[in-house]
Amino acid sequence: MSTNAAVKPVVKKTGGLAGIVAGETKISAAGGAHTLEYRGYSIYELAEKAAFEEVAYLLLRGELPTKSEYDAYKKRLRGLRELPGDLKAVLELIPMDAHPMDVMRTATSYLGNIEPEDAMNDQLSVADRLVALYPGILVYWWKFARDGDRINEVTAADSVAEHFLTLLHGKKPSDLHVQAMNVSLILYAEHEFNASTFTARTITSTTSDIYSAVTGAIGALRGNLHGGANEAAMELIQKFKTPEDAIAGVTNMMATKQLIMGFGHRVYTEADPRNVVIKAWSKRLSDEVGNTTLYPVSEAIEKLMWDEKHLFPNLDFYSASVYNLLGIPTPMFTPVFVMSRVTGWIAHIMEQRSNNKLIRPSADYTGPETRSFVPVESRK
């Protein structure tokens, strides 16, 4: 199958295209023998040793940057942080009760009007601009909608992680918090043909522009079965004060057939490799502030779900407590996902374009057999 082959009709029936190979990619390998790799690099090594900007460069440009390329790339991103005045005006019109994911979607779409992808603004330029702008977009709207404050969205922060936390809290974050944020951005950056990425590739296959594809991807990520799971996981964890409360509560939820968010995965069968990394950070941040609730409650739920359902926590589950301990409001959890995953989305958009075929799957028709048309006056 070619790198970007359209989905072929299949004989095997399966829910949600599970197990169906829809194409080939050189960007990431998830599941199977590879566990999780970005362009051949283990997620464990990247999370331990790399900065998010190195990973963004790797995904978008194919290779890890040299020292000079890395320094130049960070400088470039720092120089792209200022929000256009017209975009600020749009953000100020969005009401406070809007979901922040809707804010990210609207801002992306509007940006496509004032900074369109064209000969003067190529696909890599669009990618870099979105990576640089997204923290400012999210926090500018959040602060203005709640307090009427027009914050200065430009900081001298060295990294995306530090820039976002500085904007959010109005002060320089600790090195530990920057490191935790950096790891989270790396873990969320890319994950093969997930729902939002496949949406972006499908839109791209029609020869649409980057902004349309990213806007569609944000729409797909908004749902609780994809990106919204981290918000739902936080809402679950915060219900309980002790591990015992959590065990009783979640047991009751299972008995009444309620969905427990943050567990299981369509690609992995025994464990999500990213969970090992983010769980350790949840413990580390909890210990830093002496929080004796979030991590023990999370662990109790994790053990119960494994013992009762053989379900493991995915990246979203412990990301919830990490974000909470970093002082990030729960409604921002999925937009933070966008800040990171836009790198993977645009890498896939560029790959789709490199050998494009329209993605147009087939369906098994299960409706009525052929019928004759009856004029309206004769219908009963």
DSSP reduced 3-state for 41 = strand
Helix/strand/coil percentages in the chain, nearest 5:
60, 5, 40
Q: What are phi and psi of 173, to 5 degrees?
A: -80, 165
Contact between 289 and 299 (Cβ < 8 Å): no
Q: Which two tokens stand for residue 338?
A: 């966008």
Q: Give the separation between CA 234 and CA 232, rounded to whole angstroms.
A: 5
**Cβ atoms of residues 293 and 246 within 8 Å:** no
| Amino acid making up residue 215 | T
Instruction: Enter the tokens of residue 123.
Output: 């696909």
Choose among 325, 311, 246, 250: nearest CA to 280: 325
Q: Which residues are catalytic?
A: 226, 265, 316
**Residue 136 contacts residue 83 (beta carbons within 8 Å):** yes
In this structure, the number of other CB atoms found within 10 A of the CB of residue 226 comes to: 17
How far is residue 18's CA from residue 266's CA, in Å, rounded to a whole number?
Answer: 7
Interatomic CA distance for residues 34 and 104, integer angstroms: 32
**Side by side, which strands form the sheet with 36-38?**
28-30, 36-38, 41-42
Give one word for 208, left, alpha or beta, with left for phi > 0 and alpha for psi -120 to 50: beta
CA–CA distance, 220 with 232 (Å, rounded to integer): 16
Given a contact cutoff of 8 angstroms between Cβ atoms, the answer to whether 28 and 37 are in contact is yes
Query: Which residues, in sequence order, are CB contacts of 79 under 8 Å at separation 6+?
Result: 132
Kindly report the number of other CB atoms within 10 A of residue 1's CB atom: 11
Residues 6+ apart with CB under 8 A from 343: 55, 56, 59, 60, 127, 131, 189, 190
